[in-house]
Copies of this chain bind each other. A is one copy, B any other.
């Protein structure tokens, strides 16, 4: 195809995906089921629906249906901020003097500042549909909390957010954005829940983690009538909703005859990466097209590259079901020096299985190198990226520079999940030379691994 590739490809409304794609349907080795931590048996729909909305439980458990129709109300909401642009990084290519062709799918053009809104509206919609009063959740960097607040404001649902304390303190303005959308925000760990009080007692002065905040939000949901808990990452239902990222990317690329050689995404809980790669991974699983997939994680929280692939708790408070995943142990609390999200101890069970089966690679990168890449990117591409997204930028640049050495004209697609407008404290530390790198020692990791539950078949 010789069609000139524009700087940005926007799909027309009628070209937008009608359904989400469930990559599990095409996996030969299905992700292991969630387990009831009491019985160690697979969690049933009934058990699950005490915590989560019913329809979301059905999506969570269904590993055979390839497509789920997107309800019209959600499609309407998507049209407020989607399609997101698929951007050809002409300026970055020029700056790097690389023969590589670089594309990024930019999910930051909405007030939550990230891709999180794609699943937030879906989860809020099913909660509303079930007649609930409200939902509870946790948020790390604040993007998920903002996204859920926006979705709840739109639908008229109450929204209670437990925000990881270090982000709450680093990002006071995030709280005000959530308040603009009518949400209640509590720094976690807090003394408003039993589990929060227990964690505060055990780790006084902790700056929190996603794992802690999840425990608090789950407790808040099950102790209030008409509330359920919703989660912004890790779960397979979230990957399902986020598949809209990959589907739009694929439709846009197909339209211009573009075939990516490699697809790169940052990985915290895995929702963005999973969503971005899903339809491409489907082709690989079905043996139709081969792609390289690269998960990029922070060296300070390296679940894929240094974790164990076992059953573990999804939360620090151990109130959630057990999930089989690459994990650093639910008691692993990443260094507070790390900026923003990607601070989760585990990884989506879908991505974990794909990684275990060799369908995906993983690399870890250090914080200062990530911010250096972020600044380089900002200056030529205009967009100020979130620290999370910048992990993918770093590896995309590395890969493009390899192409420069070899002369290969590879096509790179990476996920630019969001903007860094609320991360200026971290950027300031970087500008002032105060940012440090942290790589946990084997001893640090061993402490986390020690908290992983041991039972027959789950030895580490």
Contacts and interface: CB of A to CB of B under 8 A. Distances in A.
A77 to B, nearest CB: 8
B79 A6 contact: yes
Most B CB contacts (10 A, CB to CB) among A79, A113, A172 go to A79
Chain A contact surface mostly:
helix
A380 B173 CA distance: 20
Interface residues of A, number: 43
A111 interface: yes
Contacts of A172: 424
A163 to B, nearest CB: 15
A79 B182 contact: no
B383 A176 contact: no
Interface stretch (A8-16, A33-41, A52-60): A8-16
A259 interface: no
A154 interface: yes
Interface in A386-438: 419, 421-422, 424-425, 427-428, 431
A378 B181 contact: yes
Given A6-B13, A7-B13, A180 B381 contact: no
A384 interface: yes
Interface string A47-71: 0000000000000000000000000
Contacts of A90: 76
Interface string A80-101: 1100000000110000000000
Contacts of A150: 382
A173 B431 CA distance: 12
Contacts of A176: 424, 427-428, 431
Nearest to A90: B76
Interface in A159-188: 172-173, 176-177, 179-182
Contacts of A375: 180
Contacts of A8: 79
A80 B180 contact: no
A111 B10 contact: no
A439 interface: no
A206 interface: no
Interface string A10-29: 10110000000000000000
Nearest to A13: B6
A305 interface: no
Contacts of A421: 111, 113, 173, 177, 421-422
A172 B424 CA distance: 9
A173 B424 contact: yes
A159 B80 CA distance: 36
A153 interface: yes
A276 B177 CA distance: 28
A431 B179 contact: yes
Contacts of A368: none
A80 B384 contact: no
A80 B87 CA distance: 8
Contacts of A10: 10
Given A111-B384, A176-B424, A176-B428, A80 B378 contact: no
A113 B13 CA distance: 25
A383 B425 CA distance: 23
A425 to B, nearest CB: 8
A424 B7 CA distance: 32
Q: Which 7 A-B pairs have the closest CB atoms?
A: A173-B424, A7-B79, A176-B424, A153-B379, A421-B421, A111-B384, A6-B13
20 contacts: A6-B12, A7-B79, A8-B79, A109-B109, A110-B383, A111-B378, A111-B382, A111-B384, A111-B419, A113-B421, A153-B378, A153-B379, A153-B380, A176-B428, A176-B431, A179-B427, A180-B378, A180-B384, A180-B427, A421-B422
